[in-house]
Amino acid sequence: VWARMLMVLAGSFMNFVLPMFIFFGIFYFSGVATPSPEPVIGAVMAEKPAAMAGLRQGDRILTIDGSEVTKWEDISRQIQGAGGKPFKLTYQRDGEVRSATLIPEEEPDSKRVIIGITSSADIYQPGILEAAGLAFQKVVFVLMAMMGALIQLVQGSVGAEALSGPVGIVQMTGEVANQGILPLLNFAAFLSLNLGLINLLPVPALDGGHFVMLVLEGLRGKPLGPKAMYYIQAAGVTLLVSLMIFTTFNDLMK
């Protein structure tokens, strides 16, 4: 029984190992990006106040309503203090000082005032051992986030409309692929972890369900009867097919 248990768990185990290698490669060869304290724009969100005012990636914020900006925190603090009112901003681009007037907007959920920019990033190059440790931490972090999302789904705090199936996965993969190889590798690691975790759920027809059956077999000293196994597996397959149909309908509606 123990040998069959190991065989059942091997698939999910490899789903966890693959992202370790992917994240290690990303960290070791591309470095680790950390937010820069400099008041330099790293990205501008489309159709947000900053984009409509003509701000671009690489612009250095100099002043907001006459107050000097020396670090990125100054931007956040002064924008939050603006209370959603228009303010004048000066910035430097290619050695030239320019100005713009922005009208910030408020996020409906968090009530934060935003203009649609993110900070630039400093790239840190870790060594082999550090990259391996960072990869392990990333895998654990993503798995914990996924488990938290599953718990919220069961509790009902996250709606079932958030689920996606094969159609949604193909669409998301295409969108991520257009962003470049690194986002695509990150998404591949995410999908692998998601698959490994879902396969371990104690649902008949999944690896987790097989594992539970093997535990019962070990405790009983003999396997369940063919008829019992048939009905258990049939219930599991019915559940999975129903879930696939539901998520596909969700994806098509989106």
Q: Is the confidence at residue 158, as pLDDT, over 80?
A: no
pLDDT of residue 178: 86
The mean pLDDT of 49-69, rounded to a whole number, is: 89
Q: Which helix (H) or strand (E) holds 92?
A: strand 87-93
Q: Which two tokens stand for residue 1?
A: 């029984």
pLDDT of residue 155: 82
195-247 pLDDT tens trace: 999 999 888 888 998 899 899 888 888 888 888 888 888 888 898 888 888 88
Q: Which long-range contacts (CB under 8 A, 24 or more apart) does 170-175 make?
A: 171/251
Q: How far apart are CA 172 and CA 254, in angstroms?
A: 12
Q: How far apart are CA 221 and CA 51, in angstroms?
A: 67
The mean pLDDT of 115-120, rounded to a whole number, is: 88
Helix (H, G, I), strand (E, B) or coil at 136: helix
Q: How far apart are CA 5 and CA 212, in angstroms?
A: 9
Domains identified in the chain and CATH numbers: 2-31+126-253 (no CATH), 35-124 (2.30.42.10)
Local confidence band at 139 (pLDDT 50, 70, 90 cut-offs): very high
The partner residues of 123 in beta bridges, in order of sequence, read 33
CB atoms within 10 A of CB 233: 15
Q: Is the confidence at residue 108, as pLDDT, over 80?
A: no
Least confident among 22-31, 144-153, 159-168: 159-168
Dihedral sign, Cα of residue 206, residue 209, residue 215, residue 218: negative
pLDDT of residue 109: 63
Q: How far apart are CA 250 and CA 254, in angstroms?
A: 6
The mean pLDDT of 5-34, rounded to a whole number, is: 93
Local confidence band at 7 (pLDDT 50, 70, 90 cut-offs): very high
Average per-residue pLDDT for the chain: 88
Local confidence band at 130 (pLDDT 50, 70, 90 cut-offs): very high
Whether residue 97 contacts residue 91, with contact meaning beta carbons closer than 8 Å, is answered with yes
Q: According to DSSP H, which parts of 156-180 are helical? A: 166-177
Q: Which two tokens stand for residue 112?
A: 């934060």
**Per-residue DSSP letter, 94:** T
The mean pLDDT of 101-128, rounded to a whole number, is: 82
Q: Is the confidence at residue 22, as pLDDT, over 70?
A: yes
Direct distance between the N- and C-terminal alpha carbons of the chain, in angstroms, rounded to an integer: 45
Q: Is the confidence at residue 90, as pLDDT, over 80?
A: yes
CB atoms within 10 A of CB 250: 17
Q: Is the confidence at residue 82, as pLDDT, over 70?
A: no
Q: What is the CA radius of gyration of the chain?
A: 25
Q: Is the confidence at residue 81, as pLDDT, over 70?
A: no
